């Protein structure tokens, strides 16, 4: 079915169909949106955002609200009576752009993940009658379905096993998605280093690649490669450490013939550069 004509400059459809009234965030989602997502122009998966709207009009994602039997939605202002800091910070979060499917309400941000809060509020708080994504990652997977698939790969962070949660690494309520207070790279180091203390350093001899951020070499959610690496075996190292084949069958790196060493495995599992994150012994990154 062809898409209706659309003017990005004006932010409205150019056919004769009537435009929905009300503020931009209350406008219904239209068919052309699915095409935008389907072709990947928004850089996200269809399953995660089948109803996301164009940047030319509304910048909200419509979601199916979670259900808690007997509970009703009360809105963010009620949540703020106890969770003032979280509600205030939430305005800077990407999750603040959530809108409830079938409603024009735009202040259901908290309940978009935690479920309707009337029973929770009436009880004066507590862990009952409210959803906590920290205890059940399936709440996050309703939107971030692609991440659930990554956690099912052979080498992954144990989120599905319940040993860590999405909120251990991500800010659900404020600012950048990755927890931490610095730039993207500094924040990666801060977040990953809380658990991976041995790799955090500082080291006398640094591995320059670490300065580029942990995700330069590692997949943050899951990978088909050991140690959650982005590439298999020495292929990863050779993205930066270029080899020279000066003689047929011989591979040289830094003037040293590495042909025999590479047959043992990766650059670090071959028994040479084990201190891949940094070393206090020598610049060749050995323990």
DSSP conformation letters of 32-76: HHHHHHHTTTTSS-TTT-TTB--TTS---EEEPPP--TT-----H
CB 169 within 8 A of CB 191: yes
Longest C-alpha distance within the chain, in Å?
78
Is cis: bond before 133, omega within 30 of 0? no
- Give mean pLDDT, residues 116-121: 93
Q: Would the pLDDT of 70 be above 90? A: yes
The better pLDDT of the pair 14, 159 is held by: 159
The 3-state DSSP class for residue 210 equals helix
Confidence of residue 137 (pLDDT cuts 50, 70, 90): very high
In this prediction, residue 190 carries a pLDDT of 87
Most confident listed range (56-60, 85-89, 243-247):
85-89
Q: Would the pLDDT of 25 be above 60? A: no
CB 48 within 8 A of CB 145: yes
Tell me the percentage of the chain whose pLDDT exceeds 90: 24
The better pLDDT of the pair 11, 228 is held by: 228
Looking up tokens 């029973």 gives 119
In this prediction, residue 230 carries a pLDDT of 94
The better pLDDT of the pair 271, 272 is held by: 272
The better pLDDT of the pair 3, 117 is held by: 117
């Amino acid at each position: 079915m062809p898409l209706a004509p659309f003017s990005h400059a004006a932010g409205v459809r150019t056919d004769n169909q009537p435009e929905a009234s009300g503020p931009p965030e209350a406008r219904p989602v239209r068919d052309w949106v699915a095409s935008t997502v389907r072709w990947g122009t928004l850089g996200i998966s269809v399953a995660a955002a089948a109803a996301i709207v164009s940047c030319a009009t509304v910048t909200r994602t419509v979601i199916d609200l979670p259900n808690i039997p007997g509970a009703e939605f009360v809105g963010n202002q009620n949540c703020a009576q106890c969770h003032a800091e979280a509600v205030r910070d939430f305005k800077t979060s990407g999750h603040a752009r959530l809108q409830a499917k079938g409603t024009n309400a735009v202040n259901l941000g908290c309940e978009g993940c935690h479920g309707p809060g009337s029973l929770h509020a009436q009880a004066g708080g507590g862990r009952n009658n409210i959803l906590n994504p920290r205890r059940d990652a399936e709440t996050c997977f309703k939107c971030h379905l692609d991440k659930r698939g990554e956690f099912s790969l052979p080498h992954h962070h144990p989120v599905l096993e319940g040993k860590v949660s999405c909120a251990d690494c991500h800010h659900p309520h404020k600012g950048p998605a990755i927890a931490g207070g610095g730039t993207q790279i500094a924040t990666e180091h801060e977040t990953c280093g809380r658990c991976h203390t041995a790799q955090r350093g500082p080291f006398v001899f640094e591995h320059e690649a670490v300065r580029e951020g942990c995700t330069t070499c590692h997949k943050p959610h899951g990978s088909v490669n050991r140690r959650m690496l982005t590439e298999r075996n020495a292929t990863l190292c050779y993205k930066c450490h270029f080899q020279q084949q000066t003689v047929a069958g011989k591979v040289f790196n830094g003037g040293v013939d590495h042909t025999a060493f590479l047959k043992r495995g990766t650059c670090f599992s071959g028994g040479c550069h084990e201190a891949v994150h940094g070393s206090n012994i020598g610049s060749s990154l050995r323990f």
